[in-house]
Structures are given as structure tokens and as C-alpha cells.
């Protein structure tokens, strides 16, 4: 069974806090890992596409790292803002299909 | 305006009825996908299609059927054999290579 696990399931932080969450995935047959941001009442939008072990990607205050050998990726948000509140999904891709994690639901309180 | 259009936004199914969810795209993407989301769970793959007139079962294909007669369209039929159809359904497309998926706004299906 190919499982993609995300932790924590949900997270509540105060505005200005930095936070991070984890995506664990099968380390074999790895092709790519995608991070998506899913705001309420909208459709998921891609944040990062990561392919190489050791990859680090950054977009504004959000960054991600990738370790394909041990099968995990971290997503970091620096100085969280209320508009960062969303569910963050990771998806493991093996060139044939994608498997999504259940997501981490982030709530940033003003 | 490029994108993915799913319709309807809300759908109600009667017992024993088949219903069809529409997914149309004008992104010219080859691959299209159907996912189901249940509360507290990730997106689970129902069916996907890499090219016209070809599609593959995902993890939870039982009780569903699809067709891919045109590149732009990938409708999903929820048949009466699907005993627990209440869920949120998302359609997605993907371009060639290592590109992320693009998603529609989803259809919420409920049982009457």
C-alpha cells in the first residue's frame, strides 16, 4: 500500500508565528512531490513541484524541503498571516499517478 | 478565460439513480483526473485518462464510470452500484512532463 501521510492534521497558530508541517511518502519509485494550497471555497492551487533530493523551494514566506531517500518533505511558513489559513496538501507522484495526503489544515488567528 | 469547469456545483441523487458530473477544460492538457474527498481524508483517485479514448481505474473505481471521447471533456457517472456516493468530487488536469495538476471547483454530491 502506497501511503502519503501528513502531520499534523490541523494546526492553530497566532499571526506572526512561524510554523512547519510534514509530508511522508514512499521513498521507492519517487518521481516528484507537489505541494498544494487549498483555501476554503476555492480549488487547490500548486505551490511547489519538487523532484530532486535536497531540493529547497521558496515562494515569499513559504518554503519547502525534500528528502527523497528517507521519504519526507517539510513545508515552512515564516511569520504566518491570517490569509495563510488553508489546507496544505502534498502529493507524491510516481510517473503513473498521484497519491495525495489528507492535508494539514492551518488556521492563523489575528 | 482558461480553466476547468465542473458542473453542477451541487447535485442530489435519488436511490437507484445514475448521475453524471461534468468536467470540461480549455487548457489543452492531455491528462484528466477524477478525485473523491471524504471528511478527514485526502483526495482519492477514481479514474484518470492520459489521452483521448483511453482511461484507467484509480483506487476506488467501483461504482463509477467515465468516458474520454474528446480531449476537453471527462465526465464521471456515479452509478447506482456506488452505495456511498455522498462526497466532494474534484476534477483535475495536467500538462505533459512534471507539471502540477490544475483543479476545478468541485461538485458536492448528496443522497436524497
pLDDT digits (tens, 9 = 90+) for A73-90: 999 999 999 999 999 999
Q: By the CB < 8 Å criterion, does B43 face chain A?
A: yes
Q: Does residue B1 surpass a pLDDT of 70?
A: no
Residue B96 — pLDDT band, cuts 50, 70, 90? confident
Pick among B9, B42, B104, B105 to test the A interface (most A CBs inside 10 A): B42
Mean of the per-residue pLDDT values of chain A: 93
Beta bridge mates, B65: B77
Q: Does residue B13 surpass a pLDDT of 90?
A: no
Mark out the alpha helices in chain A (DSSP H runs).
none
Question: How far are the Cα atoms of A48, B21, B106 from residue B13, in angstroms, in the given order?
Answer: 37, 11, 16
Of A19, A57, A46, nearest to A100 (Cα)?
Answer: A46
User: CB of B44 within 8 A of CB of B60?
Assistant: yes
CB contact under 8 A, B42 and A89: yes
CB contact under 8 A, B101 and A32: no
User: What is the SS3 assignment for B14?
Assistant: coil
pLDDT score, position B79: 93
Q: How far is B89 from chain A (nearest CA, A)?
A: 11
The share of chain B scoring above pLDDT 90, in percent, equals 75
Question: How far are the Cα atoms of B6, B69, B111 from residue B101, in angstroms, in the given order?
Answer: 15, 21, 29
Mean of the per-residue pLDDT values of chain B: 92
C-alpha cell, B6: 465542473
pLDDT digits (tens, 9 = 90+) for B46-55: 999 999 999 9
CB contact under 8 A, B43 and A100: yes
pLDDT digits (tens, 9 = 90+) for A101-110: 999 999 999 9
* B61 alpha-carbon distance from chain centroid: 11
Q: By the CB < 8 Å criterion, does A31 face chain B?
A: yes
Q: How far is A89 from chain B (nearest CA, A)?
A: 8
- Measure the CA angle with vertex A95, ends A44 and A51; round to 5°: 70
Q: In sequence order, which residues have a C-beta less than 8 Å from that of residue A77 and are 6 or more positions away? A: A18, A19, A20, A61, A62, A84, A106
pLDDT digits (tens, 9 = 90+) for B19-67: 999 999 999 999 999 999 998 778 899 999 999 999 999 989 999 999 9
Amino acid at each position: 500500500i502506497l501511503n502519503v501521510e501528513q502531520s499534523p492534521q490541523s494546526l492553530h497558530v497566532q499571526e506572526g508565528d512561524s510554523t512547519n508541517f510534514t509530508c511522508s511518502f514512499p521513498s521507492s519509485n519517487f518521481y516528484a512531490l507537489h505541494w498544494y494550497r487549498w483555501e476554503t471555497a476555492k480549488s487547490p492551487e500548486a505551490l511547489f513541484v519538487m523532484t530532486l533530493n535536497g531540493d529547497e523551494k521558496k515562494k515569499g514566506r513559504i518554503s519547502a524541503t525534500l528528502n527523497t531517500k528517507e521519504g519526507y518533505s517539510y513545508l515552512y511558513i515564516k511569520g504566518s498571516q491570517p490569509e495563510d489559513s488553508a489546507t496544505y496538501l502534498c502529493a507524491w507522484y510516481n510517473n503513473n499517478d498521484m497519491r495525495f495526503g489528507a492535508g494539514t489544515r492551518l488556521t492563523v488567528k489575528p | 478565460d482558461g480553466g476547468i469547469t465542473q458542473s453542477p456545483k451541487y447535485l442530489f441523487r435519488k436511490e437507484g439513480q445514475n448521475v453524471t458530473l461534468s468536467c470540461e477544460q480549455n487548457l489543452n492538457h492531455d491528462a484528466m483526473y477524477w478525485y473523491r474527498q471524504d471528511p478527514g481524508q485526502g483526495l482519492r483517485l477514481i479514474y484518470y485518462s492520459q489521452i483521448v479514448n483511453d482511461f484507467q481505474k484509480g483506487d476506488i473505481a467501483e461504482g463509477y464510470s467515465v468516458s474520454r471521447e474528446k480531449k476537453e471533456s471527462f465526465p464521471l457517472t456515479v452509478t447506482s452500484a456506488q452505495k456511498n456516493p455522498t462526497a466532494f468530487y474534484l476534477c483535475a488536469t495536467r500538462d505533459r512532463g512534471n507539471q502540477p495538476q490544475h483543479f476545478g471547483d468541485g461538485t458536492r454530491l448528496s443522497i436524497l
